[in-house]
Amino acid sequence: MEDPVWVSLMVWTTWILIAIIIDGLLIPIKLYLSRKSILKLDKKTVDIDLLPKMSVVIPAHNEEANIQQCIMSLIQCEYPNHKLELIVVDDGSTDNTINLVKRCQVDAILYGKDLKIIAKGHSGKVHTLNTGIKQSQGEIIVTIDADIKIASDALIKIARPFIEDSSVGAATGYIEIEWDNTKKDDFIKMFFSKSEFLEYLTSFNFERSYQSFVYSIYTMSGAFSAFKRNIIGNIGGYWPVTVSEDMHVTMMLHKKKVRIVNVPDAIAYADAITDYDTLYSQRVRWSRGQLEVAAMRKEEPRINQETLKDILGIVKDQKDPKLLELAFSYMKTKFTNYLKTLKKKTFRYYDLMGLPRILFIDHTIAFPRIIWVFILMMFPVLGLYTAILPIVALLMYLFYVFIDGVVILFAYYHSNPATKEKIEESFHYVLLLPIYRLVIFCFRLSAFLHVLNEPAGWKVEGPINGFKNGVKDARTDIRVSVATAIFHIGNIFNQLNLIKRRGK
């Protein structure tokens, strides 16, 4: 027998309120802080004479499909030729990458750009980046992935914060997703492409804007970021300690009290990932990196510190009221030390709105959420809440659509004309965005299991390819087993024939 309607409404209203509190309560605050962050951007044209010498490092390993368009976007950019140094570090590519880069050198000469090539054996992205950084000469060092293109004014705009504010030590740009318009009839590809575009617009660019205002940027974009030369040098460059080197370098900068800013109008373009397995591999790596980086941060151990409980125990045992002064003195000292600690806090607002919030939303409540989704699916099977469940599910779905819609409209208002056109073209996909986010959420859960069971790796096999390879391996195993069985059966017959001959 089902509960009365009013009881059901109270139960489900509570669950909706939980969703609103966790995912919706901070949205107005984020919108306010993001707006203040965006309004702080100086829209004036940058004085070319003030631009610093800049080195752009592009690590490349088997990037023949993308390297030319990446380099050409840099060669054709508006940054002054005599102040720009381009360095491509080939990480032991086995395809045609190095030859394509050499062809680009001719175009660089025609445009008056300085393009250097460094060839080395394959050692991974971190070592490749550090090799380029060591060989660079610029005051500002920009790292760019080989599979992106930059807007013509992106380098000037990402250099602007360093000119306007000497306290800025690092800056991160905005990665805008592009899609193939020739595949408009392919719904799956368009779903992933435009959902990914909206995700980057809301979850990355919008989130980093408010984080920038309160000094709590959790992750700089590994595909497009800039550093003062002495700042990246002081932390020892990139460290090969995690699969997510961009998250780790961000944490290291926070630890050194380096100010990191988001520059939303410094735009680089990346192609959408429309392959399920590739997207899965990327998101599992990101989530694993979050956990690995969080695990590296350790608080100072508390050794031989007396607690208030210990002191009150002494007062109780001695039965001396005068000893209460000891308790009050302890509390005063404790409070004073706490205030001093806050003033000297290494991570500043990163502790309040960066690391803890990300870990809570992405990890702590992840398993309760997936359990709740499973329970929701089981209720109709068990014949429970059949009348009210569709209404509640629809309300929760519309709530998440509403949140995304508000943030997208906010981003639309503050975007350039080209980005506005993309938003207009893809805005109706906001109705499907909760489904896309649920898929990504499941990817993150898979990352938790990878952390527990598998060694770190840049690429992770996706579920579809995993299933195909599993079937292929099973077929191979069956063939081997059948061949082995036939061999053993034949061996048995040979033994029987041998026994018969000996008997004769």
pTM of this structure: 0.78
Q: What is the pLDDT of residues 434-456, one digit of tens each?
A: 999 888 888 877 777 766 665 55
Which pLDDT belongs to residue 320?
63
For residues 309-335, average pLDDT: 65
* Distance separating alpha carbons of residues 213 and 203, to the nearest angstrom: 16
pLDDT at 305 over 80: no
The one-character DSSP state at 306 is P
pLDDT at 472 over 70: no
The one-character DSSP state at 362 is I
Q: How many CB atoms lie within 10 A of CB 289?
A: 22
Give the confidence band of 75 by pLDDT, cuts at 50, 70, 90: very high
**Residue 367 exposed, middle or buried by CB count within 10 Å (0-12, 13-18, 19+):** exposed
pLDDT at 480 over 70: no
Identify the H or E element spanning 104: helix 97-111
Q: Quick one: CA torsion of 281, 282, 286, 289, rounded to 10 degrees?
A: 50
Determine contact, residues 141/55, Cβ cutoff 8 Å. yes
Position with higher pLDDT, 342 vs 197: 197
Q: What is the torsional sign of CA 399, 426, 173, 58?
A: positive
Phi-psi region of 304 (alpha: psi -120 to 50; beta: other; left: phi over 0): left
Count the alpha carbons within 13 Å of 28 in the hemisphere toward its beta carbon: 3
Mean pLDDT, all residues of the chain: 80
Convert 4-19 into a string of H (helix), E (strand) and C (coil): CHHHHHHHHHHHHHHH
Give the confidence band of 499 by pLDDT, cuts at 50, 70, 90: low
Q: Which two tokens stand for residue 228?
A: 């003062």
